[in-house]
Amino acid sequence: MAPFAKQRLGPESIREIVFGVEDGMVQNMTLIAGMVGATLSDGVIVLAGVVNAVAGVLSMSMGTFLSSQAERDALLASGVAAPVARSPLRDAGVMAAAYGVGAVVPLLPFTMPFIGRSAAMVVAVILTAVGLFALGMLKGAVSRLGRVRTGLQLLALASAAGVAGYLIGTVARAVFGLSA
């Protein structure tokens, strides 16, 4: 348990950090893009984004706790020592914080009433893209891989999800007759 004695994040937490921040950003950005495509109001977008963020924090942290606990218990039962002492509770806390931070990023511009919807969407996309690229670079730095390559990889995969969300919202607007 030595890596946890000083209560600092280290390489043992990179899985939860990357997974949590990426999932929070992509899931909320995709949801927001779909809602913008469906021309729903900013109030509905903010409410749905907050509910999604809270649900994601709870779901992801519980899933992380249970999976980390299962991994630890399986290793203990098999007699194989874990390469890094892991705490399921700590993993869950890191995941919760990482997901929450990620989920807030694309939502922030929609909470600012002084910018219009189009500007809010552009700012959300830019903030999310920069955040994902930076997260990929962090992943590259920790794993000693090409930072730019891992940044672009994360950005490309996430961008596909955002475009899909917008297209789904646009189709939903037409199919269900939604209006602004």
DSSP string, 58-102: HHHHHHHHHHHHHHHHHHHHHTPPPSS---HHHHHHHHHHHHHHH
What is this structure's pTM?
Answer: 0.84
How do residues 92-123 score in pLDDT, each as one tens digit? Answer: 999 999 999 999 999 999 999 899 889 999 99
CB-based burial of residue 134 (10 Å sphere; 0-12 exposed, 13-18 middle, 19+ buried)?
middle
Whether the per-residue pLDDT at 84 is higher than 70: the answer is no
Which residue in this structure is represented by tokens 């409410």? 47
Query: What is the average pLDDT across 70-84?
Result: 76
Region for residue 145 given its phi and psi (left: phi exceeds 0; alpha: psi -120 to 50; beta: otherwise) = beta
Which residues have CB under 8 Å from 68's CB, separation 6+? Answer: 86, 87, 88, 91, 92
Q: Any idea which of 16-20, 80-84, 85-89 has the lowest mean pLDDT? A: 80-84
How many Å apart are CA 134 and CA 147, to the nearest integer?
9
Which residue in this structure is represented by tokens 């590259």? 140
CB 25 within 8 A of CB 132: yes
Residues in the chain: 180
The structure tokens listed for 40 are: 């729903």
Q: Which CB contacts under 8 angstroms, 24+ apart, belong to 137-145?
A: 138/14, 138/17, 138/18, 139/14, 139/18, 142/11, 142/14, 143/14
Residue 5 pLDDT class (50, 70, 90 cuts)? very low
Whether the per-residue pLDDT at 165 is higher than 90: the answer is no
